[in-house]
Amino acid sequence: MQHTPRKRFGQNFLVDSQTVADIIHALHPRREDVMVEIGPGLGALTRPLLQSLEHLHVVEIDRDIVKRLRDEFSAKRLTIHEGDALEFDFSSLGESLRVVGNLPYNISTPLLFHLSRFAAHIRDMHFMLQKEVVARMVAQPSTSDYGRLSVMLQCRFEMEQLFIVSPECFRPPPKVESAVVRMIPLKKPLVEASQEKLFAEIVSAAFSQRRKTLRNTLRDHLTAEDYLKLGIDSNLRAENLSIAQYVAITNHLNGIRLD
């Protein structure tokens, strides 16, 4: 039965066998792995994964695809969590979770932030994403791609772009290139849990107006004296600060609030 890709779900189905093989090779799944696939679609990754895994979890929002999966796969091998991945509790699947998926471009950033909440339960993640998004994820300071997404993810994950995937590898082909990225949670997050909210607030404010200096974007947070204590030039822009410097700002402000 033919399935018509739905725009509202951002469906671009992977159909290239070599790309599938490359992703499986990067994953190197072992039989006992606890793995969840986000958006299995027509099963391009699901089938080869089940050849290696004892069991696989999938999260799928499209009811028609859910029905197709139930018709094709045994419930003993495949557990289908029907619903929105943005609302799914990934911690419910246990520890040392491996996450994989061809993520819909229209929800990729909020989904990455949602998954970050479960970093303590995750062993690694491998995603197909828009190439430009992956470039922002792995970007270094003082580059045009470095931004809020870079800082918020790199404070929790070690990330690596693995390879580029052309539009012709999908049905329907997207208008942009894609890339596969590997994300591994840091053994110790750079930001303490109690300071995550403040850290996010600082980073968001700093990048709210990229062309303006920190003196302007963080005027509600830092004084001239604070910049001196931190050893940070207030004439710099958000993209010029390292993650360690954002952490230092957070620790400094948290210390002031505790005094």
Annotated binding site for S-adenosyl-L-methionine: which residue ranges? 12, 14, 39, 60, 84, 102
Distance CA 100, CA 77 (A): 17
Between the alpha carbon of residue 243 and those of residues 151, 196, 214, 247, 249, the distances in Å are 6, 13, 15, 6, 10
The candidate with the shortest Cα–Cα distance to 157, out of 196, 90, 112, 198, is 112
Query: Scanning the structure block, which residue is given the tokens 């994300």?
Result: 183
Angle at 44 between CA 40 and CA 49, to 5 degrees: 80
Q: Which residues are annotated as a binding site?
A: 12, 14, 39, 60, 84, 102
**DSSP per-residue string spanning 77-125:** TEEEEES-GGG--GGGG-SSEEEEEE--GGGHHHHHHHHHTTGGGEEEE
